[in-house]
A and B are shown apart, each in its own frame.
Chain A
Amino acid sequence: DARVTQTPRDKVTEMGQEVTMRCQPILGHNTVFWYRQTMMQGLELLAYFRNRAPLDDSGMPKDRFSAEMPDATLATLKIQPSEPRDSAVYFCASGLGQGRSTFGSGTRLTVV
């Protein structure tokens, strides 16, 4: 089965450090999403792309977060500088539009 691949699986970093999370969407999918999941807020949409163009990043703190798609096989989510409140599981998902997306296994980020 085709999968969305996220790396790293787990990341522990110190406050103030830069964090980069990577996602390889399913080949042929034209929409890519970044979600954050926490106990308090549940699943929140941070940003999404269609055909590599950013369409909506209104859910993302712009001062420290950035999302890019350098090419069709890679999406990145960067946090600089990281803060303890960024600790969460970050999911990437890809799809062909209309919401039915396939999720990766997530990156668990812990900022200490």
Chain B
Amino acid sequence: GESVGLHLPTLSVQEGDNSIINCAYSNSASDYFIWYKQESGKGPQFIIDIRSNMDKRQGQRVTVLLNKTVKHLSLQIAATQPGDSAVYFCAEILNTDKLIFGTGTRLQVFP
């Protein structure tokens, strides 16, 4: 069933294009960040993480960039596919196990 809101920021991209999803985090002392993907009716799924001593980390088709100066995180998805359609959340952690989630961005991929 639906698990996300109707008023999320939405990014629409054409299949095959690159996607960039942005996130502003709140605490300058946060030392660990994660991107999650949530498909309709499912729980959030881990995509990629990055620690505050790094500014870039690459995975398979995904890259996370961290700019601590402006407290900004981005997720880049190369060659976006229909299966990438979902809501994407960034989350920050400060010293503990607690994830603080952002509001999310809906990615729509059209043919």
Q: Is A93 an interface residue (CB 8 A)?
A: yes
Tell whether, in the assembled complex, residue A104 and residue B43 are in contact, meaning their CB atoms are under 8 Å apart. yes
- How many pairs, one residue from A and one from B, have CB atoms within 8 Å of each other in the complex? 68
Tell whether, in the assembled complex, residue B1 and residue A108 are in contact, meaning their CB atoms are under 8 Å apart. yes
Q: State how many residues of chain B have any CB contact under 8 Å with chain A.
A: 28
Tell whether, in the assembled complex, residue A40 and residue B5 are in contact, meaning their CB atoms are under 8 Å apart. yes
Please give, as numbers and ranges, the residues of chain B lying within 8 Å of A55 by CB-CB distance: 97
Name the prevailing secondary structure of the B interface residues.
Answer: loop
Please give, as numbers and ranges, the residues of chain A lying within 8 Å of B89 by CB-CB distance: 43
A-contacting residues, B67-100, CB 8 Å: 89, 91, 93, 96-100
Q: How far is the CA of A38 from the CA of B1 in the complex (A)?
A: 12
What per-residue 1/0 map shows which CB atoms of B1-22 lie under 8 Å from chain A? 1011111000000000000000
List 18 other contacts, CB 8 Å, given A91-B44, A93-B43, A101-B46: A37-B3, A39-B4, A39-B5, A39-B7, A42-B103, A48-B97, A50-B97, A56-B96, A91-B43, A95-B97, A98-B97, A99-B34, A99-B49, A100-B34, A100-B49, A102-B46, A106-B3, A106-B42
- B interface vs A, CB < 8 Å? 1, 3-7, 32, 34, 36, 41-46, 49, 89, 91, 93, 96-104
